[in-house]
Structure 1
């Protein structure tokens, strides 16, 4: 909902950040898995898109009347509403990041359904896709009376245009966390609720708009798959460092290597790949416990050295190992995409300076949750340099 001044509370709060950590952490990093970890969910939706072309097309125009891809959890009517939101953004020349923010906001407010409200008599006779129960809020964005007449607010194109008009007036909206940008428009009673929809919103925008969530703005110009050096793709992701991938994910010679090694000089800034909450920020010593993380590594003895784990929307976790010194972030801290969290080093199980980078899904920090970072980062418009 939103009237710009009076919040009210239909939205669900996000799950709390990690409630408890295991007493011991037995990371093997560049030789294997991770210790168990318990956390309550940060928030997110699990969904599967039907296969679609992911070739990023900077000038692709969404077709609201054309074929709509299938997506578990969202029907054709809902996804067509998302297409209408995107189309308005395109017509207004709002950058693709704005489309992701708008779709995620409508996912939280109405699950992408054009809702009427029985407390507003005028809306009873208007075509709708369900009935809300939240004061006088109606439409995809649950906008209240200050946004226009009931008929206007229940017209997806009008509602989307009003959302974008306010969004683009928010200073720095393109680089701030999605939930802050959405909250600046909506003035919700539960401002953190929008964050959990970011990943799926990016998938929807990719599917409906030719991979547009993979577009980054570089010096004011659009570029596909160029999210690096602190630049953020419309999906909200960026590459952690500019180096090229060396040792890959679970190769024949290293089947327990649950991430990729990215070569870079010692002291290179490591940027968090997406906005999230810090779960771990500490030293992971070798198995014997004899070595500290304040020296260069001890190959084949285990340990991630100085490292950070961050929980992101959709239940994804990223891991950054072998930092040269104590990380710059603390457990529980919210970090924005592109924030420098440490520097490349060679602490832990390392034979030379590099970043060991992992991606885990389903909130699972163990080896069971690890997935190949190369295709994952490419799908977010932030491919790892040198990765095919």
Structure 2
């Protein structure tokens, strides 16, 4: 005798359970993608090409912080933009610009360096400043690395089992390097939603600048907090409109191109760190970025930080939310 078919009520329950299961699978898949990609679907950052060719790269605040750190370590050593591009492409391949504590065998960190292979201790490798420095130490020992194909230069350092994998990241790394070295002006933006981690306020910004660029580099710029000259622990006073860190940009002789690039590097660094350090406004050279604005674009500055485009190029001003 054939089994009776399910009642309409039971069929409805089965359909609802099936639909709920599908939704759960979709949510689990979404969370897995967010974990793998570093949460690119959250408050995001974007780099656009300064050439006007429509090229873009979108990434998460976590990735932006790490990319800015890698760039700062390279430029603080006086290395060319090509070195930064190679480093960024390598980190994109090895870790998706995430400072992960796992990998193949004992590989760790942004560049998946191995303690057992002499790259340092686990704690050292998990420090982005250290790991980036170690990568550059090895890269500069490669003869003619700036003239080599990117994948060849990266492989000479990494000794990867997949040597051709770095090449696919070169376009994105090139966009990132142009923005984060300051060569491409006003090309990096972030949404700037405050993160739940990291200390905030002007002192935290100063500490992060010294961490990434080095104490000597910051002393040379004479970074100030609300007008107080750089000191080991500068006095910080609250302004009615927020708190501001001012980083002077030295105007040298010639066309000032190097100084302007330095200014835009610092400005883009601040935007990349906006979520982590609760930065709400960055102003430089008559342009400003404000957290939470539509599209997070750079716009003509509307205050004393710079009026017309080109003014205010003497300093980068970083205002925190707290």
Same fold, judged at TM 0.5 (above): no
Normalising by the smaller structure, the TM-score range is 0.3 to 0.5
Query: Which protein has the bigger helix share?
Result: 2
Q: TM-score, normalised by structure 2?
A: 0.40
TM-score by length of 1: 0.33
Larger radius of gyration: 2
Q: Whose RCO is larger (CA < 8 A, sep 6+)?
A: 1
